[in-house]
């Protein structure tokens, strides 16, 4: 989440008049993240999240993303439903940019996840995978390893070396990972970005999973590996918490048990997850506009995770 575009109170009031949500009381920009502009909206009937789609999202795919939220919410998953306007539309346009109003869910995102929280997240992710298997629309994962490896290739060694002198060596490692990538594992729609800041919790219970704008059809075990890489390390990626990692897998298994092929593939899938964030963070680092109210994230945090999974992944997922 971020704020690239600024909307005045009059603009927001006109927009909200198109919904059955009451009148605008307050609006606050949300500065975290890198892809969209977001506001916390309070009206006379409640709270909502307003998102303006700015970067990385093909607007033609908004019906997929927003329809997925409605599908999962209807199946009892802890996700926010889309607020449809008076005509029934899931999104509208302001000055040529698409915006959507989303249900606000209570809870806070953990900064230092506990094993109990990780177990709850694993179970919640498995419920999403199970519920999404009968969601008919399809979308390819455009951040699969072959695509994220291409991001590093496109920027090239010189630009990547400006981030860190060790960065250019990752191009070769990414090529090797792509050549060894598994196929044929069970698939559903995956979240693909389930960091702690995309999960709301009340105590150790998941109250909401948000930001499904990278969701796509892919291997469910890969999504679990993405979540493992996001939840089980300190922010720098230097320290791995085995108790959190084990609890995450246990929670997932309690709803949808992994088969042997999936479990054996997890160390490699986790390296692919790290490549995904190394590449996207490198691109954000090099391509974020000057003056944007955006928190850039260090791609080296996931290089360290990648190294961990390459060296110790078999032990972590034993």
What is the per-residue pLDDT across 280-310, written as a single tens digit (0 to 9) for each? 999 888 886 555 555 678 899 999 999 999 9
Contact yes or no for 19/83 (Cβ under 8 A): yes
Q: Where in the chain is the domain with CATH 3.30.200.20?
A: 9-103
CA separation for the pair 82, 90 (Å, rounded)? 6
Contact yes or no for 71/131 (Cβ under 8 A): yes
CA separation for the pair 267, 315 (Å, rounded)? 9
Contact yes or no for 40/104 (Cβ under 8 A): yes
- Looking at domain 9-103, its CATH class is alpha beta
pTM here is: 0.90
Please tell me the predicted confidence (pLDDT) of residue 290.
56
Q: Where in the chain is the domain with CATH 3.90.1200.10?
A: 115-316
- Residue 135 in tokens: 């969601």
Correct CATH for 115-316 of 3.40.50.300, 3.40.50.720, 3.90.1200.10, 3.30.365.10 = 3.90.1200.10
pLDDT by residue for the chain (318 residues), tens only, comes to: 455 567 888 999 999 999 999 999 999 988 665 568 889 999 999 999 999 988 667 788 999 999 999 999 999 999 999 999 999 999 999 888 899 999 999 999 999 999 999 999 999 999 999 999 999 999 999 999 999 999 999 999 998 998 889 899 999 999 999 999 999 999 999 999 999 999 999 999 999 999 998 999 999 999 999 999 999 999 999 999 999 999 999 999 999 999 999 999 999 999 999 999 999 999 888 886 555 555 678 899 999 999 999 999 999 998
Contact yes or no for 272/185 (Cβ under 8 A): no
- Residue 46 in tokens: 């409640």
Please tell me the predicted confidence (pLDDT) of residue 31.
67
- Residue among 208, 196, 191, 39 at smallest CA distance from 109: 196
Query: Helix axis angle, 260-287 relative to 145-161, nearest 10°?
Result: 40
């Amino acid at each position: 989440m971020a704020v690239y575009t600024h909307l005045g109170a009059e603009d927001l009031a006109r927009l909200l008049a198109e919904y059955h949500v009451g009148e605008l009381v307050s609006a606050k920009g949300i500065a975290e993240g890198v892809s969209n502009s977001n506001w916390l909206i309070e009206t006379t009937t409640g709270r909502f999240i307003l998102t303006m789609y700015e970067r990385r999202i093909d607007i033609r795919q908004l019906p997929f993303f927003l329809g997925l939220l409605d599908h999962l919410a209807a199946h009892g998953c802890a996700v926010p439903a889309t607020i449809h306007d008076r005509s029934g539309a899931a999104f509208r346009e302001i000055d040529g940019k698409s915006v959507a109003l989303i249900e606000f869910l209570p809870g806070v995102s953990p900064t230092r996840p506990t094993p109990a929280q990780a177990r709850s997240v694993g179970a919640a992710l498995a419920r999403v995978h199970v519920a999404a298997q009968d969601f008919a629309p399809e979308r390819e994962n455009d951040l699969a390893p072959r695509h994220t490896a291409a991001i590093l290739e496109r920027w090239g060694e010189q630009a990547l070396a400006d981030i860190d002198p060790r960065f250019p060596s990752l191009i070769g490692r990414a090529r090797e990972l792509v050549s060894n990538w598994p196929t044929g594992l069970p698939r559903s729609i995956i979240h693909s970005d389930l960091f702690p800041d995309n999960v709301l919790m009340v105590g150790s219970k998941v109250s909401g999973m948000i930001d499904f704008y990278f969701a796509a059809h892919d291997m469910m075990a890969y999504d679990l590996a993405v979540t493992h890489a996001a939840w089980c390390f300190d922010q720098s990626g230097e320290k791995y918490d085995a108790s959190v990692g084990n609890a995450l897998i246990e929670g997932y298994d309690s709803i949808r048990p992994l088969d042997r092929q999936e479990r054996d593939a997890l160390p490699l899938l986790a390296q692919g997850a790290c490549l995904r964030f190394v590449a996207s963070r490198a691109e954000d680092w090099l391509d974020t506009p000057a003056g944007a109210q955006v928190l850039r994230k260090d791609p080296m945090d996931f290089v360290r995770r990648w190294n961990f999974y390459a060296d110790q992944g078999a032990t972590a997922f034993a």
